[in-house]
Amino acid sequence: MTLERVYLVAGELSGDILGAGLMRELSAHHPGVEFRGIGGPRMEAQGLASRFPLETLSVMGLVEVVKHLPELIRVRRTLRADALIWQPDIMIGIDAPDFNIGLEKQLRDAGLTTAHYVSPSVWAWRQGRVKKIAKAVDGMLTLLPFEADFYHRHHVPVAFVGHPLADELPLENDRDAARRELGLVANSPVLALLPGSRGNEIRFMGATFLDAVTLLCQRHPGLQVVIPAATAQRHQELRELLAGYPALAQQVTLLDGQAREAMVASDAVLLTSGTAALEAMLCHRAMLVAYKMAPATHWLAKRLVKTQWISLPNLIAQESVVPELIQDAATPEAIAGQLDQLLADETTRHALEKRFARMHQSLQRNASQRAAQVITALVAGDPLDNDEIAGQEGRHHGR
């Protein structure tokens, strides 16, 4: 089966990275294949003829989406017409589900084969969306195994392709080398503190985290704390916040980026939930997840979110491997208490590191290559229900 034309629509930087990896593998197996749609510099470097700039779809927040809705509708209408004229072998929406799933539905209704790469969090909230997804795509490509299980239960053709971040990070890492790189003492405990990449997260969690660290440093005078700032703006906000904690000046190091190095160097990680929890797991480090949000948002989330956990390591394991302190439970005293236990219990930390290494290995599946295999299978009309390309290894999901 040879592909000649592939239409791809990515909506943000992470999608551009995924799309470029997929395009590279498709080109390797289908020489001469042409690409068209929306992508960023990485996808364009792989040969994509982009009809609009990548940031066209990068609209966040309800107010912003409403404001840009007429333009988004125009862009979707233009892409639909463009794809139908070009007649690709398949159209692939990469993330950006609110935009792409509607476009995929329109193109599938018009007779094109469609796929969606990166599942929306339909397993966590607004589960009714799965019915719309089932009508929009011929196949869903997921990064995580529990997502594939959800689609199997709802009879949507799916393939778990693995997570590109798991492919990128090594199965073995060197704690001592990371400490040398960051200028840390080799034989003193290290805590990596990641308060979040968004301003709201610093606002809600920053002081709570530093209050907890103050308590922890009183119990562990030799503790070294590293705080990687996600952006220049977060660095400025954290520096201003730290100015109110002069007692921590000798034990806290504020970094420009280097989150991965900080996690590898650490004995334990304190973080807000999100991709950072997955990255800490892939660095094989014990962690505590703590998160606060606006009271109204938390009230709503408790009623909408259908999952028992919020952190990806627990969702992947489907059990409480990582402690989570949410909202009122995320007090400085509770956080310091949990971290105190974690730092004192070397046996538990080592057991977690070994378990995370096994979980890492289960996600390390050469995601871009596997995704290209799945796309080829979809165009050929092959089913996505075998152990080679779908579900978790060693399991067979029949539909």
> Residue 205 is encoded by which pair of tokens?
């969690």
Q: Which CATH class is domain 5-162+365-380?
A: alpha beta
Please identify every stretch of the chain with a pLDDT value under 70, giving residue numbers as ranges.
58-68, 123-127, 293-307, 385-399
Residues of the chain within CATH 3.40.50.2000 domain(s) are 5-162+365-380, 175-362
Integer angstrom CA distances of residue 325 from 90, 186, 218, 269: 43, 30, 21, 14
Q: Sheet containing 324-326: which strands, arranged edge to edge?
A: 252-256, 224-229, 190-194, 268-271, 286-291, 324-326
For residues 176 and 169, give the distance between their C-alpha atoms in angstroms, rounded to a whole number. Answer: 17
Tell me the chain's radius of gyration from C-alpha atoms. 22
How far does CA 8 lie from the centroid of its chain?
20
Three-class DSSP category at 1 = coil
Query: What is the CATH topology of the domain spanning 175-362?
Result: Rossmann fold (3.40.50)
How far does CA 146 lie from the centroid of its chain?
14
3 backbone dihedrals φ, ψ, rounded to 5°: -90, 140
Residue 379 near residue 2, CB atoms below 8 Å? no
Residue 164 near residue 21, CB atoms below 8 Å? yes
Residue 209 near residue 195, CB atoms below 8 Å? yes
Nearest Cα residue to 284 out of 146, 176, 144, 171: 171
For residues 7 and 49, give the distance between their C-alpha atoms in angstroms, rounded to a whole number. Answer: 10
Span 20-52, pLDDT tens digits: 999 999 999 999 999 999 999 999 999 999 999
The pLDDT value given to residue 305: 64
Residue 201 near residue 290, CB atoms below 8 Å? no
The sign of the torsion formed by the CA atoms of 206, 275, 189, 251 equals negative
For residues 167 and 162, give the distance between their C-alpha atoms in angstroms, rounded to a whole number. Answer: 8
DSSP letter assigned to residue 346:
H
The pLDDT value given to residue 391: 39
DSSP letter assigned to residue 231:
S
DSSP letter assigned to residue 138:
S
The alpha-helical segments, DSSP class H, found in 30-61 are 41-45
- List beta partners, residue 10: 94
For residues 271 and 256, give the distance between their C-alpha atoms in angstroms, rounded to a whole number. Answer: 17
The pLDDT value given to residue 205: 85
The pLDDT value given to residue 163: 93
Residue 92: how many other CB atoms lie within 10 Å: 30
The pLDDT value given to residue 120: 87
The alpha-helical segments, DSSP class H, found in the chain are 13-29, 41-45, 62-86, 97-109, 129-136, 145-153, 164-168, 175-182, 199-219, 232-242, 259-265, 275-282, 295-304, 312-317, 332-344, 346-363, 367-380
